[in-house]
Amino acid sequence: MWLIVGLGNPEAKYAGNRHNVGFMVIDELARAYGPVSWRSKFSGQAAEIFVETDQGRTKVLLLKPSTFYNESGRSVRAALDFHKLKPEQVCVIHDELALVPGKFRIKLGGGSAGNNGIKSVTSNLGPDFWRMRIGIGHPGDKNKVTPYVLKDFSKSDRQWLEPLTDAIARAFSLLLTNKIDGFQTRVTHLAPAPPE
């Protein structure tokens, strides 16, 4: 079993924000592998999907914490404890200022790079969980970061965003069978980042 968590903020006014790209990927996975039944659980919205892989049928819990972005770790910890999972069975999807818009990277462990949502998850789980990072670019001035991440994706961003969320869903079974390099390559092939 895997726990796949999207970081974001729960209110409707945040739905299109750059900070909510984690929720957007979770919604695409639910669409691709659903229909799903969302339930209020683990201080969030949770739903189960089942994905056919070359190793059989894999159960996945999708989770969108309702704690707001910077407190996401409490929700993740509650789900992890309930299902008796290890941190390496958890993948957190989040926006990444240090990557250009549309760039996609996945890695196990590491630091938070100043991301308060990742800091919260790390403080609750330790660092050894998977991070699916989606580049949103940097506004160029650290004082502009908060309004930038809490602003909706631009029209030009939408040109890479939908193909990327679709590519993640199409390549998803590779992640679930620990073919991490293959997953990264497949997503990048299906939805290459726009030129810098």
Whether residue 143 is contained in a domain is answered as yes
pLDDT grade for 195, boundaries at 50, 70 and 90: confident
- CATH number at 17 reads 3.40.50.1470
Identify the residue whose tokens are 């991440």: 149
**Tens of pLDDT along 148-170?**
999 999 999 999 999 999 999 99
* Three-class SS state of 110: coil
Q: In angstroms, rounded to a whole number, what is the distance separating the alpha carbons of residues 7 and 54?
A: 28
DSSP 107: E
pLDDT at 137 over 80: yes
**Tens-digit pLDDT profile for residues 6-29:** 999 999 999 999 999 999 999 999
Q: Give the domain range for residue 81.
A: 2-190
**129 is a domain residue:** yes
Q: Does residue 196 have a pLDDT over 80?
A: no
Q: For residue range 53-72, what is the model confidence (pLDDT) as tens digits?
A: 999 999 999 999 999 999 99
- In a domain, residue 18? The reply is yes
Which residue type, as a one-letter code, is found at position 45? Q
Question: 73 is written with which tokens?
Answer: 């770790």
Please provide residue 107's backbone torsions phi and psi, each rounded to the nearest 5 degrees: -155, 160
Identify residue 168 by its one-letter amino acid code: I
Is residue 140 in some structural domain? yes
The residue-averaged pLDDT of 157-185 equals 97
Residues serving a catalytic function are: 19
Q: How many domains does the chain have?
A: 1
Residue 196 lies in a domain: no
Whether 195 maps to a domain, the answer reads no
Q: How many residues does the chain have?
A: 196
Q: Which pTM was predicted? A: 0.97
As a whole number, the mean pLDDT across the chain is: 96
